[in-house]
Amino acid sequence: MHKTIQPKVTLVGAGPGDPDLITLKGVKALAEANVVLYDALANEEIMNHAPKTAIKIFVGKRKGCHEYTQDQINQLIVDNALTYGNVVRLKGGDPFIFGRGSEEIEYAESFGIPTFVVPGISSSIAVPAYQGISLTKRGTSESFWVITGTTSDRKLSNDVALAAQSSATVVILMGMSKLSQIVSLFQKESKGETPVAIIQNGTTANEKIGVGTINNIQKVVAENNLSSPAIIVIGEVVKESNKLKGFYEEFLSNEIRL
């Protein structure tokens, strides 16, 4: 007699890159998985928490290179749940922060499949924190924005212009291809001297960082060969990080020599 398949989908946030930054609840979910569908931003070391017998399917996206469309990913989740039972959808960072996790959950639920969510540590907070950047700080920043640099229609989010008008710390994900536009918006608001940090592959062994101001961050990016995936952090709190003080002292001395 065949065992009845019990479909189930669990959306798990893998954290910002360091494999130790997945939650215990996420590890437990992976340990029970029959199938794991994982993203490019989910550290592959995390896959060691899944059973060796589990089917592992890479469904990641990189700029200009998509293994699967979102519609295909949605269908893979459902098909594997109905065929094999327990599916874990492993997504980088937190699945509900620019991760399209809600779309995947809604699609699975439309087939009557039980769904669960295990939140993850968002890179928008963790990556700056690893560099000692406190997104809010008494007397410096009362709030912060987290904005996608590139919308679904491949344009810069209109919210960046609004954020540039505020005194808040601004964190921009997926914004490297729009850096010149971002710089222009902040310069328009007379924010050319505002400190900026760009952190590539944050919290991983391959992490790279460049610091400067709105006026020269594009030069810093070119000199340090920074590229995606990277997080852009704009605000006075960047300069106040103990870890980045050395960067800024060197940067300021270079500016004086020039």
> Which residues are annotated as catalytic?
39, 61, 174
- C-alpha count within 13 angstroms, C-beta hemisphere, residue 46: 36
Contacts 24+ apart (CB under 8 A), 143-147: 143/168, 143/169, 144/168, 144/169, 144/170, 144/171, 144/235, 145/169, 145/170, 145/171, 146/97, 146/122, 146/171, 146/173, 147/171, 147/172, 147/173, 147/175
Contact (CB, 8 A) for 101 and 11: yes
Pairing of the two strands 195-200 and 208-213:
antiparallel
Within 10 A of 161 (CB to CB), how many other CB atoms are there?
16
Is 147 strand, coil or helix?
strand
Question: Three-state SS for 12?
Answer: strand
